[in-house]
Amino acid sequence: MEKFSGKVWVLGDDIDTDIIIPTEYLALKTVEDMTPYAFSPLRPELAAQIQKGDILVAGKNFGCGSSREQAPEIIKALGIQCVIAKSYARIFFRNAINNGLLLIENDQLRDAVCEGDMVTVTINAYIEHNDNQYPITSLPQNLVEIIEAGGLVKAMQKKNGVC
Amino acid sequence: MGETIIEKIVRNNVGRVVHPGDIVTVNVDRVMIHDIFIPFVAAKFEEMGFTKIWDTDKAVLIYDHLVPASQVDDTRHFREGNAFAAKYDMKHVHRSDGICHQLMTEAGYVKPGNIVFGTDSHTTTYGCVGAFSSGIGYTEMASILGTGTLWIRVPETIKIHITGKLPANVMAKDIILKLIGDLGADGATYKALEFTGDTIEQMSVASRMSMSNMAVEAGAKCALFAPDEKTAAYCEMTLTQKERELVGDTDAQYCQVLHYQAEDFVPVMACPSNVDKIKPVSELVGKEIDQVFIGSCTNGRLEDLMAAAEIVRGKHVAPFVKLIVTPASRKIYRQAIENGTMEVLTQAGAIVTHPSCGLCCGRTGGILTDHETVVATNNRNFLGRMGTSKVGIYLASPRTAAACAIAGKIVVPE
């Protein structure tokens, strides 16, 4: 069973895609060009503070708003290992899975952690914080298949015989 | 057991009865890609190893967010879009005709019962003609272009029943804002909305569009109106038996049913900076404003511009207020010129811009700065959506927005 730990950054409810990456930066050429502006309307300093392996913890409806796939891509490019939120908006959820960004749904952790705390995730089992354990529900099989293929691009490459 | 509209649409598509929670692969009837995401769709499509679009008649490419270009690199999206369209023989490309969600039904690309996906969250709009339509990202769009299919989870349905006659100063926008406030910004996540009742039956397709457009602001996957004679007239078609059957059965299973009396609705606003922070306009009266925006795929249609014109006729916008009007399509722009609406709006001091997404996506046509306030008819008031993160955005109906422009502050429309 895969297990990893990370330092958490804590955000609130309804973190929308305009907060994750404002529209004015969407025409920059690459996702890497956009990452310095991640979360800038809410916390302009955050993108520079996030370090590889950190974990993002948020409230309900994370990723609501537009269909911009740069939102999960940027979170991944910042080095975030996984997002743990109370709930996710549906387009963001699909986009994250297709890009191999791990999302975990848990409605208790957000209100128990403080920024800078360490949490440990055991995939498909539970999250540990201080002395508490929070259970994780497992994903439907068709999503597991996309993740196991390494994302939707790789799944299609396999289908088309180009990898 | 009976079926909801979404269950019927999916059943017709996959050839067997489906239930909420089922994961099925659907055959896609039409897709829409807009200018912001075409370079990414094109790159993913080739990276995936596809060499042709599954059905070139079924893909529509629309330039709207970046039209006309406002930043130096924007035209790259048009060049890359044009190159992709030429290479893969795309039949339907709109380069300056209006906003994608307006054009998809206006130009006849979407019919009742269709399953449609677009690279934009407001793709839910086409539920106005009884189509199942929803937003996706560019990677999934690339895979649909290659395969013509997509997996979906059949959603539960929330039924919204509205009966009675709306007050004269209330528009469909006020209904959907009130509903988003009641459901919450995530109250319909992963679910379908289904609208019924005599108030809905009386409503124009344009008004239904305002509602299906904003359903995603409550998290909904889609928002459906049963196709009727108004739908048939709008789509310039005769409904088949199969299309007429796209109504929710009386014994269908709904996860939630909400009832509203039309007479109870009042003009409302979504206050900064959440779509579900809804207040009656009467509680906000007197707040000074800097700008008013009437436009977008939510409220840039002819009936919206006419409602605004009715309010401003013979009056003038307050001295320090800019009233920006953006028709949703060139067709609407021309109709508004022909029927005199543009004459009334411009006499009142409106700044009319080209049909496009414009200010709604915060890239052009009236960007604001710290501590300024805008009353806007579009669909999102998120932080930084129309300029800096300290701009206050109040979402309202065109009627309310126009009244505020004249008064220079928030007022309840007549």
User: What are the pLDDT digits (tens) for A7-22?
Assistant: 999 999 999 999 999 9
Residue B287 — very low, low, confident or very high, per pLDDT cuts 50/70/90?
very high
Whether residue A6 is predicted with pLDDT greater than 70 in this model: the reply is yes
Compute the CA torsion angle B293, B297, B302, B307 (nearest 10 deg): -40
The CA-to-CA distance between both ends of chain B, in Å, stands at: 47
Spatial CB neighbours of B291, under 8 Å, sequence gap ≥ 6: B321, B322, B323, B324, B366, B368, B372, B373, B374, B375
User: What are the pLDDT digits (tens) for B90-137?
Assistant: 999 999 999 999 999 999 999 999 999 999 999 999 999 999 999 999
User: What are the pLDDT digits (tens) for B188-223?
Assistant: 999 999 999 999 999 999 999 999 999 999 999 999
For residues A74 and B144, what is the distance between their CA atoms, to the nearest angstrom? 23
For residues B60 and B109, what is the distance between their CA atoms, to the nearest angstrom? 8
Spatial CB neighbours of B222, under 8 Å, sequence gap ≥ 6: B6, B124, B127, B132, B133, B134, B155, B192, B193, B212, B215
pTM of the model: 0.94
Tell me what the mean pLDDT of segment A84-100 comes to: 94
Tell me what the mean pLDDT of segment B216-233 comes to: 98
Contacts of A69 in chain B (CB under 8 A): 37, 40, 137-139
Residue A131 in tokens: 């002395």
A14 and B48 in contact by Cβ < 8 A?
no
Count of pairs with CB atoms under 8 A, one residue in A, one in B: 132
Contacts of A98 in chain B (CB under 8 A): 137, 139-140
Place of tokens 């807009």: B34
Burial class (CB in 10 A: 0-12, 13-18, 19+), B339: middle
Place of tokens 């302009």: A44
B121 and A142 in contact by Cβ < 8 A?
no
Contacts of A65 in chain B (CB under 8 A): 121, 380, 382
pLDDT at A121: 96
Angle of the B398-407 helix axis to the B302-312 helix axis, nearest 10: 30
Q: What is the pLDDT of chain B when averaged over all its residues?
A: 97
A90 and B189 in contact by Cβ < 8 A?
yes
For residues B268 and B410, what is the distance between their CA atoms, to the nearest angstrom? 11
Name the residue facing B44 among A14, A153, A161 (closest C-beta). Answer: A153
Residue B160 — very low, low, confident or very high, per pLDDT cuts 50/70/90?
very high
Residue B365 — very low, low, confident or very high, per pLDDT cuts 50/70/90?
confident
Place of tokens 């009266």: B285
Burial class (CB in 10 A: 0-12, 13-18, 19+), B44: buried
Tell me what the mean pLDDT of segment B144-157 comes to: 97
Going by C-alpha positions, the residue among A159, A20, A152, A79 that lies closest to residue B138 is: A152
pLDDT at A24: 85
Name the residue facing B382 among A24, A60, A65 (closest C-beta). Answer: A65
Contacts of B41 in chain A (CB under 8 A): none
pLDDT at A124: 83
For residues B379 and B357, what is the distance between their CA atoms, to the nearest angstrom? 11
* A13 vs A1 pLDDT, higher one: A13
pLDDT at A1: 55
Q: Chain B: give the shortest CA distance to residue A36, in Å.
A: 16
User: What are the pLDDT digits (tens) for A114-155?
Assistant: 999 999 999 889 999 999 999 998 778 888 888 778 789 999
Angle of the B302-312 helix axis to the B330-338 helix axis, nearest 10: 40
> Radius of gyration (Cα) for chain A, nearest Å?
16
Contact assessment for residue A81 and residue A102, using Cβ atoms and an 8 Å cutoff: yes
pLDDT at A145: 82
Residue B344 sits at φ, ψ, to 5 deg, of -65, -45
Name the residue facing A89 among B140, B219, B384 (closest C-beta). Answer: B219
